[in-house]
Chain A
Amino acid sequence: MNAMLPSLAPVAPVPDPPLALLAELTHRCPLQCPYCANPLDLERAAAELDTATWLRVLDEAAALGVLQVHFSGGEPTARKDLLDLVRGAARAGLYSNLITSGVMLDAASLGALADAGLDHVQLSFQDADAAQADRMGGYRQGHRKKLEVAALVRASGLPLTANFVVHRQNLERLPEMLLLGEEIGASRIEIAHVQYYGWSLLNRAALMPTRVQLEAANAEVDAARLRLHGRITIDYVVPDYYAARPKACMGGWARRIINISPAGLALPCHAAESLPGFMWPNVRDVSLGEVWLTDPGFARYRGTAWMPSACRSCDQREVDWGGCRCQAFALTGDAGATDPACALSPDHHLMSDAVLEADRPPPPLVYRRIRSAALVR
């Protein structure tokens, strides 16, 4: 090849830099929520990245254009070096968010995190009813502990998001959840219908809401938004099994977010490890910039050129970016297929059939555990 000749290969445009880094620090977690979005094969502690590598990743992320880092898991407070990582994020100029169950936090650790430069805390709740919450989380006294931690977050001065994952078994208490968010002083409430990946897909038949539940929830959220306007922001994640168009998953494949798994794999989303045929790069070996700009896995479903022809000519192609690749694979076996959430997908019946599960008695929940999945009543 003569370097002076113009290349005949199509040149992929340089991608815009990512806005956010999802740092999945660990898969360890004291809770066992059956709707966990983690993969079924959970990483063990010995496989986790060390502190120095995470600090390097934070610096590389900031240099690449990342503005916010979300420390997540698993339970991120299970990492003994969380304080160092929050300090590292602050040093790099990153806005840091802690996504936590809260049960491992106390006044001293929260104060230290606030002093280290943490910007925001998202605290998860499993329900508004303590007994139901503890049943779903598989953790005794978890709900009571979370209420204490919410008060500690407010006392530290940090802004608080109350996160409620909703499903068939708790949606009837959505009004109480919204009130709870208000009572604990959250400035933001996230009501997120379960998205079905990993453990939640395994438990779909037990968690899928009925259409009647969904419509009641939509109305409840609309009313709460009016009531709380100007005081509390409510973010609402709707279930795409009932939708006619897919969601713009992650804001589009490898467009806005870069995800690092506990073991250091760089991924376009937390579920992408479930897709076959990829050799995901590890941040132990390559820089974040190299991953974002050159990794073929990141490039594979970026933009619109990869889409099936029906999607490529659709006027929504740069609205939903083709929806979710992991969902397309999980339901159709082809990660490049149209997301079955789209009513125009030839596989859309897979979604409408699954919705019928909501009218049957729920099967026992499979709780999230390291090792093999165990059936628990």
Chain B
Amino acid sequence: MDAVPAFNRGFRLRHDQVRGAWVVLAPERLFMLDDPAVEVLKLVDGARTVPAIVDELAAKYDAPRDVIAADVQAMLQDLAEKGAIRL
């Protein structure tokens, strides 16, 4: 429940100034991110827990916590399966 997500070595969130977009750089590939993914991944720092990330986004967007929690969990799960982060 209180997993602390962190990027695996070889995966990096980076702002691409030329394209004005956030990307995750990965082994021989890169992931283009949509806006919600960027908001979540900016909070993946190896220190915040998943609930802390959810709290922060729920406050920032004044949105129901359970809706945010489901989105965040699904997104992190997907990135973990791709090897980008560990939970």
Contact = CB atoms under 8 A, between A and B. Distances in A.
Same assembly: yes
Interface of A: 17, 19, 63-65, 67-68, 70, 93, 95, 97, 119-120, 122, 157-159, 161, 187-188, 190, 229-230, 233, 235
B18 A187 contact: no
A164 B54 CA distance: 42
B30 A187 contact: no
Contact of B10 (A64, A65, A67, A158): A158
Given A67-B25, A187-B8, 17 more contacts: A64-B18, A67-B23, A68-B30, A93-B14, A95-B12, A97-B28, A119-B27, A120-B27, A120-B28, A122-B27, A122-B28, A159-B8, A159-B9, A159-B10, A161-B27, A229-B81, A230-B80
Contacts of B81: 229-230
Given A17-B18, A65-B18, A65-B19, A119 B25 contact: yes
A233 B83 contact: yes
A77 to B, nearest CB: 18
B25 A95 contact: yes
Nearest to A66: B18
B82 interface: yes
A157 B8 CA distance: 10
Contacts, number: 57
B9 A158 contact: yes
B43 to A, nearest CB: 22
Interface centre among A64, A67, A229 (most CB of B within 10 A): A67
| 10 pairs of A and B residues whose beta carbons are closest in the complex | A159-B10, A65-B18, A95-B25, A120-B27, A230-B81, A120-B10, A188-B27, A17-B18, A159-B27, A159-B9
Given A67-B14, A159-B8, A159-B10, A17 B19 contact: yes
Contacts of A122: 27-28
A331 to B, nearest CB: 28
Contacts of A119: 10, 12, 25, 27
Given A65-B18, A187-B10, A19 B30 contact: yes
Contacts of B14: 67, 93, 95
A229 B83 CA distance: 10
Contacts of A70: 28
24 contacts: A63-B18, A64-B18, A65-B16, A65-B18, A67-B14, A67-B16, A67-B23, A67-B25, A67-B30, A68-B28, A70-B28, A93-B14, A95-B25, A97-B27, A97-B28, A120-B10, A158-B9, A159-B10, A161-B27, A187-B27, A188-B28, A190-B28, A230-B81, A235-B28
A93 B82 CA distance: 23
A63 B18 CA distance: 8
Contacts of A158: 9-10
A327 B5 CA distance: 45
Nearest to A93: B14
Interface string B52-87: 000000000000000000000000000011110000
Nearest to A235: B28
Contacts of A161: 27-28
Interface string B13-35: 01010110001010110100000
B9 A157 contact: yes
Nearest to A161: B27
Given A187-B27, A188-B28, A233 B8 contact: no
Contacts of B10: 119-120, 158-159, 187
